[in-house]
Amino acid sequence: MTSSAVGIGDLAVYIPQPCMDLETLVAYRVNGDAKMERRLRRAVESTGQRSMRYPQPWEDNATLAAQAGHRLLAQNPQLDLSKLRYIAVGTETSVDLSKPVAAYVEGMLQNAGHPVPDSISTFQVQHACAGGTISMMSVGALLQASGRTDETGMVICSDIARYETATTAEITQGAGAVAILVETNPRLIELDISTQGYCSRDVDDFFRPLGSVTAKVKGGYSVQCYHESLDAAFRDHCERTGEDPREALENTDMFVLHIPFQRMAWIAIHRLLSEHLHLPPEKIEAFLSARGFQAATEPAARIGNIYSGAAYLSLAYYLKDRYDTLGDDIVGKRILLASYGSGNTMSVMRGRVAEQAPGIIAGWDLDTVREGNCEVSFDTYERWIEAPAEPEAYNRMIAEEVTEIPSGSFYLAGIRDDGYREYSFK
């Protein structure tokens, strides 16, 4: 039996509105401790970050995921939801140690009026920032195996990146979700899931202990792990395709990488190209400029690290820029997608822009998504930093502020005495 092509039919991005400008944040931290100024300003310069986004008080990771899923379904009114077979969430920001975020998302979408069926599999994948990619490959393989070309799956990459305050890691926080429609005979991107390259190692470059809302990261070591695993997974991918690494890179039109901070992507791709193409830095810059790589990294500088969704946030904006530049000539462009998860794993896979992609991309409004409200008070940011609140305190807060929640929003309506989280749609 010949397997149908599988891949991405559409993407939808949701980013919460509150925004913290890093110049404002650095000034505040320096006012509290002048000795931090040099370290913080050097960190901002070395990462390339300019601002970060964080959730509203009534949002959590499940509502971010549901909001992205809601947008994806709204973009695809023709979709027969009776054929939706999977909802998978890739995340490292669980809201429950047993029940997957995907199950909460299913309920929220149904409560919002989407006829999502019960004849569906919901699950969650956790592997730091790679959970979304692993979810997507799992759903793609399941769709191929079923042989039913009319069935689809929804994968949501959703996370809230949090670190200890008054540290250099604080500037690389962020929040957001990307929902991916996975389908056979895909309209946006055809993926080759048979030649993925892998590299996984048991390391402690990044982790979040049980009970902690903030992650622990060894910055320099994590960057080293990223570089080493990228090269190893790329070589594994080339071995499976039979391509020479140099040829594989020269024939790539778009490079999509996991972006924990803007400069990380530039450093990683420079190292990979230098290793295999043996080009000087100025020629690597010209090589990347010809492929519009800047457009793939710029959104991360404004939004921050959204962990499992970071590569797909980059992919969405990269596709939009290439479509604006090339028009219908974007069809057939070859994509190399590298997804990293600390702790650690790296996968490298191939994609090809599909025939119907121009029509899909033309319907996106990503400029609105990227622009957050950086005028909110610092008190609002500190309120998020101090969260999560105890259930009783949270329930008092939401009772007072529910009228402020915009129409069309999912929100955490309350936390029961037994700890169960209840969600609503306004």
Q: What is the mean pLDDT of the chain?
A: 96
Tell me if 415 is assigned to some domain: no
Tell me if 418 is assigned to some domain: no
**Sequence letter at residue 234:** F
DSSP secondary structure letter of residue 308: G
Q: Are 412 and 58 in contact (CB under 8 A)?
A: yes
- pLDDT at position 368 is 87
More reliable by pLDDT, 54 or 387: 54
Could you report the per-residue pLDDT of 127-181, keeping only the tens digit for each? 999 999 999 999 999 999 999 999 999 999 999 999 999 999 999 999 999 999 9
Mean pLDDT to the nearest integer, 292-297: 97
- pLDDT at position 33 is 95
* pLDDT interval class at 374 (50, 70, 90): confident
- pLDDT at position 93 is 97
Cis preceding-peptide flag for 395 (omega within 30 of 0): no
At residue 79, does pLDDT exceed 80? yes
At residue 3, does pLDDT exceed 80? no
Q: Are 187 and 358 in contact (CB under 8 A)?
A: no
Tell me if 78 is assigned to some domain: yes
Could you report the per-residue pLDDT of 214-234, keeping only the tens digit for each? 999 998 999 999 999 999 999
- Stated pTM of the model: 0.97
Tell me if 395 is assigned to some domain: no
DSSP calls for 111-160: HTT----SS-EEEEE-BTBTHHHHHHHHHHHHHHHH--TT-EEEEEEEEE
**Which residues does residue 121 pair with via DSSP β-bridges, in sequence order?**
86
Share of the chain above pLDDT 70, in %: 100
Tell me if 120 is assigned to some domain: yes
At residue 375, does pLDDT exceed 90? no
At residue 1, does pLDDT exceed 70? no
Residue 37 belongs to a domain with what CATH number? Answer: 3.40.47.10
At residue 60, does pLDDT exceed 50? yes
Please give the residue range of the domain that contains residue 30. 6-388
Tell me if 407 is assigned to some domain: no
Structure tokens at 25: 């944040």
Tell me if 153 is assigned to some domain: yes
Give the orientation angle of helix 22-32 with respect to helix 378-386, to 10 degrees: 80
Mean pLDDT to the nearest integer, 352-358: 98
DSSP H helix total and E strand total for the chain: 15, 15
At residue 311, does pLDDT exceed 80? yes
Structure tokens at 51: 């601002």
Cα separation of 133 and 311, whole Å?
Answer: 9
Tell me if 70 is assigned to some domain: yes
Q: Is 211 helix (H, G, I), strand (E, B) or coil?
A: coil
Cα separation of 376 and 353, whole Å?
Answer: 39
Domain count, the chain: 1
**Which residues does residue 20 pair with via DSSP β-bridges, in sequence order?**
52
Q: Which residue has the tokens 């008080």?
A: 57
At residue 2, does pLDDT exceed 70? no
Mean pLDDT to the nearest integer, 24-36: 95
Mean pLDDT to the nearest integer, 107-111: 98
**Which residues does residue 220 pair with via DSSP β-bridges, in sequence order?**
none
